[in-house]
Amino acid sequence: MRVVSVVGARPNFVKIAPVIEAMKDIGLIETVLVHTGQHYDYLMSRAFFEDLAIPDPDFHLGIGAGTHAEQTAKVMVQFEQVLEPTKCDFVLVVGDTNSTMAAALTAVKLGIPVVHVEAGLRSFDRSMPEEINRLVTDAIADHLFTPSTDADDNLQREGVPAEKIHFVGNVMIDTLLKYQAAARDRDAATHVGLTPKDYAVLTLHRPSNVDSRDTFSRIIDAVEAVQREIPVVFPVHPRARYQIAALALEERLAALTGLRLIEPLGYLDFLSLQMDARFVMTDSGGIQEETTVLDVPCLTLRGRTERPVTVTVGTNEVVGTNPDCIRESVRAILGNRWKRGRVPPRWDGKASERITGVLLSLSDQGRRTVVHS
């Protein structure tokens, strides 16, 4: 069997690493890796390949930055040129980036079955570009691999046949569990001058938070109060850094003596930073999952989450961007009044093994169909 796997942005790399490893371990699946280049600088791309021992891509499309339409169109044009001469049984896409949706659309139009890993997640907020990518990809995918039972429920409500849905668990947790010990050895907190369990981590990258001066300013209002109580470290995503300059917020952030702005971190260093944090404030989806498994309190700076299982059983709470709500939640954490979470079902480090098992089963079914016809 030959599977073409597609990645493009930072979260994709964390999700694809264990899947590629599991496919290679089986020995019956030939993998072809395509990197669209949606994320392209060292700290957002190459560092993850190195940390996670991901093999060099067989194809690099080099699409770079651009609007949603530009990125989607470039991926489709370039990926079609890769797929047509590359005979494969499946195209496998992960997550919810522009690269995910564009690659799925290209494959479907060429009649190639699409496998979507991390299917079924819904925020029910169509103003989020990722939500549109999720909806489109799930609607056209042939096989949907879900990380949690709520994702199964979402797909069933949308009319997806049960035989297309496979509850396999969370591949991001496969990666976390594999590299947890290596991340702890990094001791990232100490290297940036922080004391373990005596600091908070802040991450921001979503356009709804960093492109709006009003919203970004509200978050800074909250951070201004938080950093008086506990040091806050902020690995600054390239989009956030650009918007800080564009919105003339540098001077205000520089005045916050308890806030430390640093460059983005590779996977191992950032995982290390999360592990030793007192709590995390974020608008990232994956971090909500990682903190749940690490048992670190998480404040999601958005109005909704597509990962509600991290709220119902995990350490996460959706607090939005209201400074009063954020400060109240921080007081609860610092006062040791935060909930303890538990790990959701099948977040056990074996999701990738389940995925390869299903793929082999599907291939066997296909061969049997050909023989019997």
In this structure, are residues 316 and 300 in contact, taking their beta carbons and an 8 Å threshold?
yes
Distance of CA 318 to CAs 281, 301, 331, Å? 10, 7, 15
Catalytic residue among 39, 116, 205, 237: 205
**205 is known as an active-site residue:** yes
Helix 68-83 vs helix 98-109: crossing angle, to nearest 10: 40
Pair type for strands 30-35 and 2-7: parallel
**DSSP for 105-154, written as a single string:** HHHHHTT--EEEET-----S-TTSHHHHHHHHHHHH-SEEEESSHHHHHH
Alpha helices in the chain (DSSP H): 10-26, 47-51, 68-83, 98-109, 129-140, 149-157, 171-186, 188-191, 207-210, 213-229, 238-246, 250-254, 267-275, 285-294, 309-312, 323-334, 351-372
| Element containing residue 7 per DSSP (H, E) | strand 2-7
Catalytically active residues, by annotation: 205
